[in-house]
Amino acid sequence: MFSSRVPGELEPNRVARAVRRARADGRSVIDLTVTNPTRAGIHYPPGILVPLSDPASVSYDPHARGLPGTRAAVACEYARHGITVAPDGIVLTASTSEAYSLLFKLLCAPAGDAVLVPVPSYPLFDHLTRLDGVRSISYRLDYHGRWTIDFESIAAAWSSGVRAVLAVSPNNPTGSIVTSDELHRLAHICAERGVPLILDEVFMDYPLTAHPAASATSFDCLTFRLGGLSKSVGLPQVKLGWIAVQGPDGLVSAALERLELICDTYLSVSTPVQAAAAALLRDGTPVREAILDRIRVNDAALRRLAAAYPSVDVLPCEAGWSVVLRVPVTRGEEALVLDLLEQDAVLIHPGFFFDFPHEAFLVGSLLPEPRLFHEGMRHVLERAHA
């Protein structure tokens, strides 16, 4: 029942040790950090992976950017969101993490160059940048009823070594959507300073509110939009991600030419997943709908449950699979998380794992089965409120 991915050195040490002890002891733990939909009781249609056995996969005809038919299918996915991307502007990758690595190789020189990364955000970014010898420099998201970009922190963090600005919309873990005005302001800054915008939109299919999606637009700077099957149809084991390249024609052409050389060096995307992609995107719609229904049900249940614990705030979440709780600062986040694990057999993330600016926040997943989610969150609220 534990999350299948513990980020190793990125996980807070005492929490990681406690998780390993519980796992070694075979304890039954309610895992409120699970982000793997295949382990969360989500129904998958029988035969959903049959397209991976397409006979066309027997023939190997490598294309550095990916098979044309697969890129066309991804372009149709963007069209479903009102975003126009030419198939020739799509580059296929084995995952979103690999997409980041390719872009860092494209844009940055090791041991000096940097990218601006929002905080709070998923700690994997620090790890990915370090693996490519790139510096990660933080800019802040501020909370004033909803999360917004602190543009003053971008100006303060900027240096001559900055080679890209990374934005995540919807953000993980805050669940905030970068507004259209914010995106255009970011793009203007990037265009003015001659750096691209990397826009991570992997959770764009999972709105929790009626807040308008801000991603259906294009910008006046070179832009790399990221997505993948892991989130779009809940298939993390089927390794396919993509980069959609937009912006001024000259910049796009030059970027695609260099990306093609990098991708041709690795050729990491398998033929079977490319041949199956169009069918997986089509047949995965019920999975996406089931995940969306699950996170909406759990989000609503948590907010009803939290009404009885006024000292705990469940922060607004516009989209995505995570939820943030602001709890009383009566003890450290780590102590609270350890108490929950050791005394209540409930696992939840401390806020500092995601670089929240101060105590005290907890971050949970909205994916667990509703009964377990309700029981686990009841323990969290009771212990945080005590």
Tell whether the model's pLDDT for residue 5 goes beyond 70: no
Quickly list DSSP for 86-119: -GGGEEEES-HHHHHHHHHHHH--TTT-EEEEEE
Token duo for residue 272:
């079977």
Other C-beta atoms closer than 10 Å to the C-beta of 130 total 11
Q: Containing H/E element for 333?
A: helix 333-344
CB under 8 Å to 201, separation ≥6 — which residues? 169, 170, 215, 225, 226, 227
Q: What is the mean pLDDT of residues 350-372?
A: 95
In DSSP terms, 241 is beta-bridged to 93, 228
Q: What percent of the chain has pLDDT over 90?
A: 84
The Cα–Cα gap between 229 and 221 comes to 26
Q: Where are the domains of the chain?
A: 8-43+286-385, 61-283
pLDDT at 10 > cutoff 60: no
DSSP state of 179: P
Separation between Cα atoms, residue 218 and residue 367, nearest integer Å: 31
Q: What is the pLDDT of residue 211?
A: 56
Calculate mean pLDDT across residues 17-40.
85
Residue 357: is its pLDDT beyond 90?
no
Q: Looking at residue 16, what is its pLDDT? A: 73
Residue 36 reports pLDDT greater than 70? yes
pLDDT-derived band of residue 18, with 50, 70 and 90 as boundaries?
A: confident
Distance CA 91, CA 263 (A): 9
* pLDDT score at 210: 65
Question: For 123-132, 150-159, 258-267, 308-317, which range has the lowest pLDDT when averaged over its residues?
Answer: 123-132
Is the pLDDT assigned to residue 96 strictly greater than 90?
Answer: yes
Instruction: Yes or no: say if 219 and 183 are a contact pair by the CB < 8 Å rule.
Output: yes
Measured between alpha carbons, how far is 364 from 322 in angstroms, rounded to an integer?
6
The per-residue pLDDT for range 206-255, each reduced to its tens digit, is 999 865 555 557 788 999 999 999 999 999 999 999 999 999 999 999 99
- Give domain 8-43+286-385's CATH architecture: Alpha-Beta Complex (3.90)
pLDDT of residue 214: 56
- In angstroms, what CA-CA distances link 171 with 10, 65, 83, 175, 332? 19, 27, 19, 5, 24
Q: What is the pLDDT of residue 215?
A: 58
- Say if residue 346's pLDDT is above 60: yes
* Model confidence band, residue 8 (pLDDT cutoffs 50, 70, 90): very low
pLDDT greater than 60 at residue 69: yes
What integer best gives the mean pLDDT of the chain?
92
Of 77, 121, 123, nearest to 225 by C-alpha is 77
In this prediction, residue 282 carries a pLDDT of: 95
What are the residues facing 164 on neighbouring strands?
A: 115
Mean pLDDT of 98-112: 95
- Assess whether pLDDT exceeds 70 at residue 9: no
Is pLDDT of 184 > 90? yes
Residues 188/202, Cβ–Cβ less than 8 Å: no
Handedness of CA 289, 293, 296, 302 (dihedral sign): negative
Closest residue by Cα to residue 206 from 95, 367, 45, 48? 367
**Could you give the CA distance from residue 114 to residue 194 in angstroms, rounded to a whole number?**
14
Query: Which residues have C-beta within 8 Å of that of residue 50, sequence separation ≥ 6?
Result: none
Alpha carbons 264 and 118: distance in angstroms, whole number: 31
- 61-283: CATH class: alpha beta
Band of the pLDDT at 383, cuts 50, 70, 90? very high
pLDDT confidence of residue 336: 95
In the chain, DSSP finds a helix count (H) and a strand count (E) of 12, 14
Residue 24 has pLDDT above 80, yes or no: no
Distance CA 264, CA 269 (A): 10
